Amino acid sequence: MINLGVLISGRGSNLQAIIDACESGKIPAKVAVVISNVATAGGLERAKKHNIPVVVIDNRQYKDKNTYELEIVKALQAHKVELVCLAGYMRIVGQVLLEHFPMKMINIHPSLLPSFPGLHAQKQALDHGVLITGCTVHYVDSGCDTGPIIIQSAVPIMEKDDENKLAERILAQEHLIYPQAIKLIAEGKLKLEGRKVRIK
Ligand code: GAR
């Protein structure tokens, strides 16, 4: 059983998928704390419903990124977190978090990386005219959505797609692959060779 710390900024549907997978015993993990940089994030209510401790750490209240992230690190350590899961956490991770959780932090992104990193990945895919996009779970490194890739799922783009319709179909895949990736890590099945992630 490993302790997860989930970082969010909004709705928290991926957080919900992770909580459900933990509670149903599909993954040998427990959400030990949910941390949001946004006080009104919907994900906080989801966590409370499952009696999971929540912490709001508003980045705007800190003089710089290091001080802000140190506060997050303290909360993660206080809850004995072993793996940090970014789930719709809309801040770029800085040096402090990375140093405290090296290769112990993963993220979900709504595109087939390395295509369309950063914000509005679904719109970027539509605007570019790709026929297939999807989602990616990857380790977090110092770049923006650049870390070693753990799992991807492809989603075809339909003629009548707009950003919302596409985002919804991608989200359904996100909810499947995020718990799968956590399961692989919790069971100690992943091994890193350079930037390639191998399943043992
Ligand atoms: C998800 O689509 C996630 O992939 C995306 O934000 C959404 C959060 O939804 N994350 C990013 O774009 C990070 N760059 P949720 O709050 O319902 O999980």
Mean pLDDT of 27-38: 98
Mean pLDDT of 24-34: 98
Q: For residues 146 and 143, what is the distance between their CA atoms, to the nearest angstrom?
A: 5
| DSSP assignment letter at 54 | E
Residue 175: active-site member: no
- Choice among 79, 109, 138, 175 that is catalytic: 109
22 CA to centre of ligand 1 in angstroms: 19
pLDDT of the residue at 88: 98
Nearest-5° Cα angle at 143, 46 to 135: 50
* The ligand 1 atom nearest the CA atom of 117: 14
87, 15 contact by CB (below 8 A): yes
Mean pLDDT of 154-168: 97
pLDDT of the residue at 56: 98
Mean pLDDT of 48-65: 98
* The ligand 1 atom nearest the CA atom of 90: 13
pLDDT digits (tens, 9 = 90+) for 80-90: 999 999 999 99
pLDDT of the residue at 103: 95
Burial class (CB in 10 A: 0-12, 13-18, 19+), 143: exposed
Neighbours of 199 (CB within 10 A): 9
Q: Which residues pair with 84 in a beta bridge?
A: 5, 105
Nearest residue (CA) to ligand 1, atom 10: 88
pLDDT digits (tens, 9 = 90+) for 125-152: 999 999 999 999 999 999 999 999 999 9
Question: Residues near ligand 1 with C-beta < 6 Å?
Answer: 10-14, 43, 87-88, 108-110, 121, 171, 174
110 CA to centre of ligand 1 in angstroms: 7
Q: For residues 131 and 70, what is the distance between their CA atoms, to the nearest angstrom?
A: 42
Q: For residues 195 and 180, what is the distance between their CA atoms, to the nearest angstrom?
A: 20
* The ligand 1 atom nearest the CA atom of 9: 16
Mean pLDDT of 118-122: 97
145 three-state secondary structure? coil
- Cβ neighbours for 107, distance < 8 A, ≥ 6 positions apart: 85, 86, 89, 137, 138, 139, 140, 145, 147
pLDDT of the residue at 161: 97
31, 10 contact by CB (below 8 A): no
Of the pLDDT bands very low, low, confident and very high (cuts 50, 70, 90), residue 114 is: very high
176 CA to centre of ligand 1 in angstroms: 14
pTM tops 0.85, yes or no = yes
88 CA to centre of ligand 1 in angstroms: 4
